[in-house]
Amino acid sequence: MAAPTIQSGQIKAGPGLIRYAPLGTIIPTFTAAASKVTGTWTNWLEVGATDSGLTYSESVETADITVAESLYPVRTVTTGKAGRVSFTMSHINDLNWKLAMNGGTITSSGAAATKLNVYVPPLVGAEVRVMLAFMSLDEDEVIIWPQVFNVGSVETARGTFDSKAGLPVEFSAELPDPAVMTTPYKRWTSGGLAQGV
């Protein structure tokens, strides 16, 4: 019986690191070193812990072109594509709250034990897009979405003593300014993930 060649380095498990930044932030210049993707993340922030890591999904809508003389379509064309990046933030802090709400303003007064922050959400039309990035646990894979917008419902429950609150988000990957990137995302790999090319 034929069996596949198992490439253990290409079998991925575990979460990774999620970062975000304002639109226009410099995307790191990545290089490969010691089978890792390396770069300097200037002005990118971490979202911290999540409930179950990050999920990226991409869907394609199609239509069949048919003729009367064939039961099969003569061509299938793409009529739409959508990408979604979803995760639930376990760190409920001011910056993650602002990320989930597509912007807004935070004003601060006082310092240390007397510091008080006030958050005001954005009005409709004043929301902002951000850049989003994921680095795998092994640091051999990086994905950057240069323009995303949270389209999910944000629901944070404060329940029983043993129930943990979270901030769920579902970002839509948009086509960015072509001066930044001409695709809705890019993926960099090194080590075992970069094989087979």
Q: Residue 142 falls within a domain, yes or no?
A: yes
Q: In the chain, how many domains are there? A: 1
Is 36 inside any structural domain? no
70, part of any domain: yes
Q: Which pLDDT does position 197 carry in this prediction?
A: 53
For position 76, what pLDDT does the model report? 97
Domain extent at residue 88:
50-92+127-187
Q: How far apart are CA 37 and CA 30, in angstroms?
A: 6
Residue ranges in the chain modelled with pLDDT below 50: none
pTM of the model: 0.91
Positive or negative: CA dihedral 196, 26, 90, 86: negative
Q: What's the mean per-residue pLDDT of the chain? A: 94
Q: Is 1 a domain residue?
A: no
86: helix, strand or coil: strand
Indicate if the alpha-carbon torsion angle 136, 183, 145, 34 is positive or negative. Answer: positive
